[in-house]
Structure 1
Amino acid sequence: MYDDVLIATDGSDIATDAATVGISIAQAFDATVHALSVVEDGRGDAAKRSEQREADADAVATEAVDAGCAAESVVQTGRPASEILSYVDEADADAIVVGTHGRTGLRQALLGSVALEVIRDARQPVLTVGRETVDRDSIRIDDVCLATDGSVGANAATEHALSLAEACDATIHALYAVDVSPKADAIRENFLEHGEQTTAAIEERAAGRGLETERTVTEGAAHEVILDYVDAEDVDVLVMGTESKSNLERLVLGSVSQRVVPAASVPVMTVRTPDTEQ
């Protein structure tokens, strides 16, 4: 599924953690790593900044080669998000890996502007890695959680979750949250039934690939259910679809994704809904 993985880096600790996770995934898929660092316009000595960005990109490429991956380092000049989005298409990469707390400025508990723009606008799946979500001494993907509601966006994420689990020989956790008032019995029962059907369908697809599946249908606010489950079950990566709106509002992350991504204790892969692609 992934032949080329773009890893964006600014040399920060979180970008370094993101690179380690991205390289682990590239290794599982025997993919080529594209290590990209961006020299931002108008900040200090241009030559010095360019030299530092080259060193940052080279460090990621070297780590990838040491892990057995083909790799190349690239340095671009401009706005980080724009250059990431431009290069991922130029390189025909299949996935993007980015840290959420780099050097572009970030308010606590909010998604960084670069990561947000990349998730919002990229056609490719984006793996975001936040602060304290990676144990560098033990980079293994043994459990992949797929958060689903059976929608088009969630279904788009299913293939990516299954492929990742298959490549890493991981267990799939199919998680469905029923966010309906207990007082609305009829609607609630419909959603519970839909959850069972949706997770059963995922289990069947996983079994076809020889994967083990844990199915969970539970009630509560979707973002809280997802975050609690990820912590309780000690999963390694969370995969979820993103619902987006275009045109006048451009592309705005769906409310669940927007709450989960910056707060998750593990790396999160977001997959765009196909009908929002331009």
Structure 2
Amino acid sequence: MSAFTDGLTTFGAILSALIASRTLWELVRGWYVKGWGSRRHWRDKFNHLANWTTDEYMADLLGTPVFINQRTTVDNQSTSPEWIDRTYSTPHAWVVTRSVEGKIQGWSVTITDPKFWWDVEAPTFWQIKSRLGKATIANLVTKPSGSFEVRGARMYIYAESVYFGNPGAYQTYVFLHNNAGIGTCLPSGENYVKTGSFAGNGVVGIAPVGNADLRKATTVNTLMVVSPSINIGGSDSSDWPTVHRDQIRMLFREAKVQRQRYMREARWRRIFAARHWANSLIRLVTTAGDKSKDRPLPAEDHEF
């Protein structure tokens, strides 16, 4: 009898230890996912984004969307959505998915955490090796098939598209700087520019490379991947499955972040402007000094 009692006691102790260890594991895992392991956790999630998946798959992967936008069409007195965009908020980026009849046909990731980056090798099928959120347009896109630039009162977008054909699963990859995300940009000064595949002429080849200074100074903070069923040519950026700054600023948290980002950008703009004027003044003074040195000395009068 005592042996049976001892066995029950040992079994109870082992069971209690297993329950305690599982509880401790869940606590540690939750702390890791929400703490210093959060960035690695969300990079892995983003690697599972894919076109032609279901809405349920995306909801299970990303959670509940913050915003839902849709375009409806009227046919024979019945209204049906042409497409539905769902915007998801994550700790490090905005994710937007486009659904057509329950299947994903396009998606985008816009990084909002300055310390976060994401390798684009997996989503581009290893056609491009670089890091979203760290690389510039010039470093990431070498042979664009088109370029797009638009500037508004509170928004700025610069984008270049790439098409790899079969190696890229016949998808179009668009690398953007969206001012709803992180990074720096150097606008060309134009308000609206569309070339190549963005002009709606069906171009999928290599387009002329645009402004070199803009491409070197502009951070790529957004990757948009669309299936062949979505034609970006001839459409405006408001029709793309990307996050829109005017919408996300409705959230108080995002409005506060955008305000802080605007103040930080304004401070850097003032610093750059002051440095520019200082360099201009130095060049002006140096040029004036060089001209004074080159000026011939007055001839001396000699008596013979």
Shorter-chain TM-score category? under 0.3
TM-score, structure 2 normalization: 0.24
Q: Which has the larger radius of gyration?
A: 2
